[in-house]
Each structure stands twice: as structure tokens, then as C-alpha cells.
Structure 1
Amino acid sequence: MESKRQQKFAGVIQEDLAAIFQREGMNLLPNTMITITKVRVTPDLAIARVFLSFFNNTNNQLALNTIKAHASEIRYKLGARIKDQVRIIPQLEFFVDDTSDYVERMDKIFDKISKEERQPDSE
């Protein structure tokens, strides 16, 4: 369970990273829209786990590796934005948020189930 402080800090990081990716994202990944779906922060606020979703991209793992390769540059830009609000700039860990893939897979399963013939209930 995250504290209010962690949630508030995660919200600040999410907003500022979103602005950074909106402005700088095309330089890192051309023709790809990067969305920050969730940010989780450790209790000491030293590590921020950032979950990303990539749109208009075929290889999510390659995109994630590109983001990870530029993590220090992204952290520097984040630090420039939030330096007056925090004591330390958290280390950034990036992950792919596969929630949309999971939802799509579940939708296909439910569609398959609904198309199957119903067996009469035997009592």
C-alpha cells in the first residue's frame, strides 16, 4: 500500500515525464507515441518504476531498450524540472505495461466463449 506522499510524488513524476516524452519522445523513437501508464515509487522515494505503453510501434522490447539506454538523459531532464520540489532525483526504472495486450487477449477469449454453442443445463 502506497502512502499519500508516495502517490503524490509518483503523480508529479508521471506528469513531468509525460511532458518530457511528449517534447523529446520523437527524437528517441520516431513515429512512436509513448504513454506513461503508471509510476510506482519506493517508500524512500529513491527509485521510481515507470510503466510505459508504446503506440504505433511493432517491437515494444526494442523501444524499451532504447528508453533504458537514454535513462540517464531522461533523469537529468526530469531533475531540471522537479529540482525545487524534491531532495533527491529518483533513479528511473522503465518497464513495458502490457495491460492493453492482456485486455485484448481476454476479449478474444470472451468472444470465443460467446460464439460457442450453449449446452443446455442438465438438472
Structure 2
Amino acid sequence: MFSRTGLVMSVVAGIALIAATSGGGSAAPLHTGRPPHTITGPVIEGGADGKPHLLRCPSAEWAYGGGFTVSPGAGRQFGPQATDVLESHPNENGTGWIVAVRKEHWRGVLGQSAPANLTLHAVCTEGQDGPHGG
């Protein structure tokens, strides 16, 4: 449990950290040029197959986040199992986002299954302080 003095010291330390990282032009900007923006890759037919898929950011931009959407194909519906997320992270040099998921879609009464469609998304930005040390 915090004492009153400990709590005050924590608040003061937090304010000092915020001031040091955001004030007076002494801290380097997180990014320069184009602000963070989301890019969307093409629909990958059957891409929810558990294999890794990569969406690269435009040249000289870094991936700061990412995700995906799954969709059933024409005339199909999702299977009852939840989407199994195996990977969702930046690639090794931070220039794109990798996703590997499993999700089935079904066709007809007999339940013919196949991997659902996959669309990747990445949040990209330019910056001198990119995740790969750029």
C-alpha cells in the first residue's frame, strides 16, 4: 500500500517524465513527415489458413501496428469455431505486419469447409525513430 508521501513522489516523477519527453523541443519527434495512417491489403482468398501473410508499409515507412479481418466467400458462412490468431506482429525489420490466423467458412448443407478470406491492415508512418533503429 502506498503512503501519502510515496503517492506524491510517484505523481511528481510521472509529471517530470512527461515534461522531459514532451516539452521544450528537447525531445526528438516520434515521427516526421506523414502522420500514422492505416493501409489495407487486398483480400486473400482462403488466406485464413494458418500460414503467415505479410503486408508491407510503403517505402521508407515503418509498421507501428496492424491487424486483420476475416470474411466468408460468396455463398458461404463462417464455421462455428472462433478465429484462431497464431501471429500478429511486425516483421523483423519493422517495415510490415505479419498475420497468421485460422478461420473456416462453410458451403451448403453438407458443410464443405475451407479457409475463410483474409484482409491485412497495418498502421504505417515515417519516422527517424522507427522500431528498427532507423
- Give the TM-score taking structure 2 as reference length: 0.27
- Of structures 1 and 2, the one scoring higher in RCO (CA 8 A, sep 6+) is 2
Larger helix fraction of residues? 1
Structure whose residues are more often strand by fraction: 2
Larger Rg: 2
Given the two structures, how large is their TM-score scaled by the length of structure 1?
A: 0.28
